[in-house]
Chain A
Amino acid sequence: MTVQAGFYLMTLGAGLILSFALYAARLHRRGLPAGLALTTLFFSIPFGYLFAKLVYIICRFRASILNYGLAAFIRLRPEEFSFAGGAIGVILAVAMCARLRKRSPAEALDIFAPAGCLLVAFARAGEYFLGSVGWGDYLEIEWLCRFPFAAQNRYGEWFLAVFTFEALIALIICALALVREERYQAHRGLLFAHTAYSLCICQIFPEMLRAVTIIFSFVRTEQVVCALTALGLLWFVCAKLHARGKKGAYRPLIWIWVLAGLNIALQFALDKPYLFIDPLPLSENANAWMMEHSAIIFYCIMVVCIVLMLMLMIRAAHTLAAKSGKRSR
């Protein structure tokens, strides 16, 4: 599978049209000017591009600016863009356009949230055309060696199609955003915060599986950007809860640090399992078994961590929605 940039751009274009049509329809339903969607689309493309490049360049300064100078900004190699950066650019465009039209950015972001998920799903699905960019591990399990679970390279080898997994997650989060919409109506910005948080947290695991990723000092930077964004969003919700007099409103922040720390330790353990398994008081056989199954064990714990992180936001957001609902009544 080689890079077919034209097909990727067509998929991304279709995603932009559909998601911004959804955004326009939702704006119209809320009695807001649907034309805001068109203005936002106009700004989203350059903002998305710029931030996708900027995050990459910051993380890989030596490989980009020092090698190519400012031309690094116009290099179109797929692996030289940050997906998380691109998403941040689009979100900024949505907020900025709402502000320019003298509308609440938080409200606009709430309305945009499901459409944003749809755009993410299309952008991820389009990675089918970007060669190895969306691939994970080499696969030998025969029933998995077919699309949509896997993608094949020019040597006939199969690799896990991480991009389809990510596109599916984005669609699920999109559906959940539509379901939650009514409940969260009483608090501006909450639907966006919860949706974006879910996208960020759910990206941590697949990012771990990716064979092509932006690495800075052995750290997968897309994961860091997602984790920091999620932390900021949880902080936002906790601060609102605190403002409404909720006791222990900031407790989820402590827990997310604990879970993030555990996640970092697990990623380190995946790289050097012997450092974690050897000190355990195990028999030689048990040690060998643990070493052999270390990856699956650590991945399972990581998934549990991610579910717990998602639950932190669900609980905080539901409490905030309930409190805001009572107040507005």
Chain B
Amino acid sequence: MKKRFFLCLLALVTLFSLTGLLSAQAEVVQLPIDETGGMPPLASGYSGDLAYEDPTIKVSIELGREENCDYWIADIQITDPAQLRTAAADGFSSTMAMDGQKLARRVNAVLAIDGDYFCYTGSGYILRQGQLYLNKLNGDRDVLLVDELGNFHGRHLAEDGSITGSVRGRKIMNAFYFGPILVENGEVCPDVTGQDMAAREKRQRMCIAQVGELHYKAICCAAPARGSAGMTLEQFAAFVARQDVLIAYNLDGGDSTMMIFQNKKINDVKNNSTRDICDIIYFASAWKAE
């Protein structure tokens, strides 16, 4: 009887110790809504050069060619909206630009893309990581709002005062001012060429899209050089719509186009000169290893 009691006690102690050990080894953390980065990605999370997975984030990248132009599609699934984040070279009130790859490394980005080059326009709606920096809209561009649940909301040609800091009762965490909105409700927007953005020229393009709840895609195409033709905005919008996305928003393209994985630019790799950029949008891990 005594022996059985001690065995039970030993089993319980072992169980508790193991539980404690496990929780000390790894856990999901709540990333703060500020300019700090995410958790460092796990080395064991990478499978091949184009995929990463841990309990909080799953990224897979697909390369292809369409309409005589190379493209890159990153499919990202996260478990918490705070894992969709933004970072700037020297804060969102500075106009500093730097190498996007170094910026991605600073914040432990699993996948990063160039943002809306907010420091160049000097107008618009700059709200990043929950903090408003500029609210000077003039109805000339579409705005993308990302709410606290990580859902995307487009605002066509947003006028001054039309955005109040929340959307459908939810706080806006990030907003982008480049545009236009390429796809809405799964359909190509009727007038994607109306806001210039060198719309009729074949260029390098970049967009961010929402596929479902906490499920996103970042899509970019190559420049009209080195065997690729580039894409007009209409071509790009049609291409993006075919990727089964609900809403997609055009970001800064041209030579700023940058998709960064494992802290390296993976698009257009033969062109090693990358233009310095002010900001990135990135997806971070919330998995804290031991």
Which A residues fall within an 8 A CB radius of B?
A: 60, 62-64, 66-67, 79, 131-132, 135, 137-138, 153, 155, 157, 159, 211-213, 215, 270-275, 278, 288, 291-292, 294-295
A211-B97 in contact (CB<8A): yes
B122-A273 in contact (CB<8A): no
Q: With an 8 A cutoff between CB atoms, is B276 at the interface? A: yes
Across the interface, B122 reaches (CB within 8 A) one of A67, A157, A295, namely A67
Q: With an 8 A cutoff between CB atoms, is B12 at the interface? A: no
B255-A271 in contact (CB<8A): yes
B98-A211 in contact (CB<8A): yes
Q: Does more than half of chain B's interface fall in helix, strand or loop, or is it mixed?
A: loop
Q: With an 8 A cutoff between CB atoms, is B106 at the interface? A: yes
Give bound CA distance, A67 to B90, whole Å.
21
Give bound CA distance, A83 to B223, whole Å.
36
Given A62-B121, A291-B271, 15 extra CB contacts under 8 A = A66-B123, A67-B123, A79-B94, A131-B90, A137-B276, A153-B90, A211-B96, A212-B96, A212-B97, A215-B120, A274-B225, A274-B270, A274-B273, A288-B270, A294-B273
Q: With an 8 A cutoff between CB atoms, is B242 at the interface? A: no
A79-B95 in contact (CB<8A): yes
A271-B275 in contact (CB<8A): yes
Min CB–CB distance A280 → chain B (angstroms): 14
B136-A291 in contact (CB<8A): no
Q: With an 8 A cutoff between CB atoms, is B226 at the interface? A: yes
Which B residues fall within an 8 A CB radius of A?
A: 89-90, 94-99, 102, 106, 120-123, 134, 136, 138, 223, 225-226, 255, 270-273, 275-276
Min CB–CB distance B163 → chain A (angstroms): 16
**Total A-B pairs in contact (CB under 8 Å)?**
73
CB-CB under 8 A for A132 and B89, given A66-B136, A275-B225, A295-B273: yes
Residues of B within 8 A of A295 (CB): 273
Min CB–CB distance A206 → chain B (angstroms): 15
Residue pairs across A and B with Cβ atoms less than 8 A apart, 19 shown, are A60-B122, A62-B122, A62-B123, A67-B134, A131-B90, A132-B90, A137-B99, A157-B106, A159-B98, A212-B90, A212-B94, A212-B95, A271-B275, A272-B255, A274-B225, A278-B225, A288-B270, A291-B270, A291-B271
Across the interface, B273 reaches (CB within 8 A) one of A212, A215, A271, namely A271
CB-CB under 8 A for A138 and B98, given A211-B89, A215-B120, A291-B270: yes
Give bound CA distance, A132 to B233, whole Å.
35
